[in-house]
Amino acid sequence: MVKICCIGAGYVGGPTMAVIALKCPSVEVVVVDISEPRIAGWNSDRLPIYEPGLDDVVKQCRGRNLFFSTEVHRHVGDADIVFVSVNTPTKTCGLGAGKAADLTYWESAARMIADVSRSDKIVVEKSTVPVKTAEAIEKILVHNSRGVRYQILSNPEFLAEGTAIQDLFAPDRVLIGGRETPEGRAAVKKLKDVYAHWVPEDRIITTNLWSAELSKLAANAFLAQRISSVNAISALCEATGADVTQVAHSVGKDARIGPRFLSASVGFGGSCFQKDILNLVYICECYGLPEVAGYWREVIRINDYQKSRFVNRVVSSMFNTVAGKKVAVLGFAFKKDTGDTRETPAIDVCNGLLGDKAVVSIYDPQVTEEQVSRDLAMKKFDWDHPRHLQPLSATDLAKQVAVAADAYEAARDAHAVCILTEWDEFRGLDYKRMFDAMHKPAFIFDGRNVVDVAKLREIGFIVYSIGKPLDDWLKDMPAVA
C-alpha cells in the first residue's frame, strides 16, 4: 500500500487528500496539522471548511483509508509521498516586504521532514510557491539527509473554491513537474500513477520543476487580469451609459476570448490572486524585468481602484456622508458557495464605510460573527498565518459592526444595502419587504450585478449596479466622495 501524508489541513490539503483517498482505495492517506481544533473539525460532523460535496467525500473515506491526525512526525516518517500544503504568506517586513512570499512555514516543514525521515521520500509542493523554491527545499533536505534520498516534485493546485470537489473529480489538467533525471522521472511517474486512477492520461501534464512552479503563478495572474480588465471597462460603462453585462457578453462571444471571468464586480478576492501576482511582481523585479513587473502590478491597482470606487459611490450618493447611518452588507465571503473570506473585497468595503463612521450590519450564510470580527481587525496579509498567530478580534468595532441572522434583519432600519457576494439567495429576496423596513430614500448598491435593477426601481429603491447605466439620482452625484 502506498502511503501518502499531507502536511496542512486547509482549503487545499483537506479536499485534495479526501478525493485521492476516495479514488484510490489502495492508498492510505493521512492529513496532518499542528492545529488540534482544525484536526478535531476534520474528524467531526462539522468540517472546518465549507465546500459543496466535501462532506460526502470525507464521510465515505474517513476511518477507511483517510485519516486526520496531529501526530505529524509519525505519519511523515511513515509516508512514501509527502505533500506539503502549508501557508506561504506575503512578507510584511524585511527584503521584499509587501510582495515576496514568506517561506518560513515551508522551510520549517522541510527541516521537519529531514529530521523524521528514515526512508526515501517524494516531497510534493502543493502550496503555491515562487519559482526555484524546489531548489531551496532540495538543498535543505540533501544537507540534512543522513543517507535518505529525496525527490522534489511540483504539483500545483488549480481549484476554484465553491467547485473544488468538482474540479478534483474532473480536472482540466493535473500538472506534475520534476527533475529531468532518471530518479526525477521515476518520481513523476509514481505520482502520475496515483492520479491515473481517475484522471485521463492526456490531462496529466508533466514538465520540469520550474515550468510547473511558474505555471501556477501565471494561471492566477491571467485569471485576475481578466477580472481587472472587465472591471476597468465597467467604470467606462458607467461614465458613458453603456452596460458592462452587454459589453462582456459581446466580447465573450469571440471564441478567442470566451465568456468566463468576464463578470464585473466590486473586485476579486481569495487567497491566491493578489498574493500570487505580488509574488510574480517581486520575481520579475529580482530578475531585472521592471516593465514586466509594472504590467502585472496594474492588475492589483485596478482591483484596489474598483473597491475604493465602490465605497466612494456609496458615500457620495448618500449626501456625501454615511456617519451614523446603518448600511446592510449582504455577503462577506469572497465568492458564493464558500465560507472563505481571505482577501474578500468586503473587508476593504466595510473598512471604508467604517472609516466614514457608518454602522454596518453584515449577513452571510456561511461566515461566522467571529470570522467577520477577526477579518476587520487584521492588518493586511495577517490572514495567511496560522490561526493562533493571528491577532485577536478588536473590541472597538463592536459598536459599529453587527452580524445579522438573515438579510431582512441586516436591512431593517438601514439607509442602504450593499451586495458584496453573489449568493443565489440574494436573487430571490423579497425586496419590497426590505424596502418597507428601511429609511427613505433607500439605496441598493449591487457590487455583483445580481438584482433586477428595473424591478427594484419600481419598488422605490435608488439602485447602483456595477457597470450599468446610472440611476437619475446618481447622475447628479459626484463619483468620488
47 vs 55: CA distance, rounded Å: 7
User: Exposure string (b/e) for 445-467, b if CB count within 10 Å is 16 or more?
Assistant: bbbbbbbebeebeeeebbbbbbb
Fold (CATH) for 221-474: Rossmann fold (3.40.50)
Q: What is the pTM of this model?
A: 0.88
Site of grid cell 470580527: 373
**Beta-carbon count within 10 A of 432 CB:** 13
From residue 463, give the alpha-carbon distance in Å to each of 60, 128, 228, 440: 47, 40, 23, 13
DSSP character string of 313-351: HHHHHTTT--TT-EEEEE--SSSTT----TT-HHHHHHH
Among candidate residues 5, 237, 272, 350, the one labeled active-site is 272
Catalytic annotation present for 272: yes
Q: Looking at residue 114, what is its pLDDT?
A: 94
Set of cell numbers at residue 30: 493521512
> 392: phi > 0 → left, psi -120 to 50 → alpha, else beta; which?
beta
**Beta-carbon count within 10 A of 356 CB:** 18
Low-confidence ranges of the chain (pLDDT < 50): 388-389, 481
SS3 label, residue 132:
coil
Binding-site annotation: residue ranges for NAD(+): 8-13, 33, 38, 86-90, 127-128, 161, 272-275, 342
From residue 283, give the alpha-carbon distance in Å to each of 138, 201, 210: 20, 32, 13
From residue 454, give the alpha-carbon distance in Å to each of 151, 463, 466, 471: 60, 9, 14, 10
User: Exposure string (b/e) for 147-179, b if CB count within 10 Å is 16 or more?
Assistant: eeebbbbbbbbbbebbbbbebbeebeebbbbbb
Q: Looking at residue 476, what is its pLDDT?
A: 67
Domain boundaries, the chain: 2-199, 221-474
DSSP character string of 263-310: ---S---SSSHHHHHHHHHHHHHHTT-HHHHHHHHHHHHHHHHHHHHH
Helix, strand, coil percentages for the chain (3-state, nearest 5)? 45, 15, 40
Q: What is the dihedral of CA 345, 346, 352, 357, to 10 degrees?
A: 180
* Assigned architecture for domain 2-199: 3-Layer(aba) Sandwich (3.40)
Binding-site annotation: residue ranges: 8-13, 33, 38, 86-90, 127-128, 161, 272-275, 342
Closest of 153, 150, 141 to residue 193, by C-alpha:
153
Amino acid found at 279: N
Q: Looking at residue 135, what is its pLDDT?
A: 85
Q: Looking at residue 478, what is its pLDDT?
A: 61
Closest of 173, 218, 169 to residue 19, by C-alpha:
169
2-199 matches 221-474 in fold: yes
283 vs 285: CA distance, rounded Å: 5
